[in-house]
Amino acid sequence: MKSRLIEAPASPEIEANLLQLNEIPGTYRPVFMVFETVCRGKTIYICLSGGRMVDGEPELTITGSAAFDALIRLPGDCKVMIFKEVKIGKTPLREKVEQTIMDAPEGARICFFGDMWGELDGVLLDALNMERPSDDHHRPA
């Protein structure tokens, strides 16, 4: 499994609202955690969103909602949308993530959500096996 961060803007209204709420200048372009993931020849699109389950329904943070909006605005036909709450537990995160991806059909979109500022801070990226940018362009000729 390999994941790569892709450019995926949210709607202009959502981005403007997010910038205003966080008192960020309007010239800033937010980057959302949206990935193209290939696992065993199958391509899936994923976002990482802050949020929690409330009364059996996902409740995303403002930034999490913006990442989800960016995910659903990707070009192409999305026939399946999956929300998956992620928590640290007995089963390793990578195993949980891979199983969700393997159970999803080709082209599905998955919103993994949870406590991104707490227990999942930085660890979910490792579970996605994110490609690191090559340093070749920084090396002297």
- Tell me the DSSP string of the chain: -EEEE------HHHHHHHHHHTT--TT------EEEEEETTEEEEEEEEEEEEETTEEEE-HHHHHHHHHHHTSSS----EEEEE---SSS-HHHHHHHHHHHSPTT-EEEEEE-TTTTTTTHHHHHTTBPPPPSGGGS--
Mean pLDDT, residues 97-107 taken together: 95
Does 37 reside within a domain? yes
Does 138 reside within a domain? no
Domains: count for the chain: 1
Q: What pTM, to 2 d.p., does this model score?
A: 0.89
Does 135 reside within a domain? no
pLDDT-based confidence at 56, cuts 50/70/90?
Answer: very high
More confidently predicted of 7 and 135: 7
Mean pLDDT, residues 86-99 taken together: 94
Does 57 reside within a domain? yes
Q: Domain of residue 84: give its range.
A: 2-129
The pLDDT value recorded for residue 141 is: 41
**Does pLDDT of 140 surpass 80?**
no
Does 140 reside within a domain? no
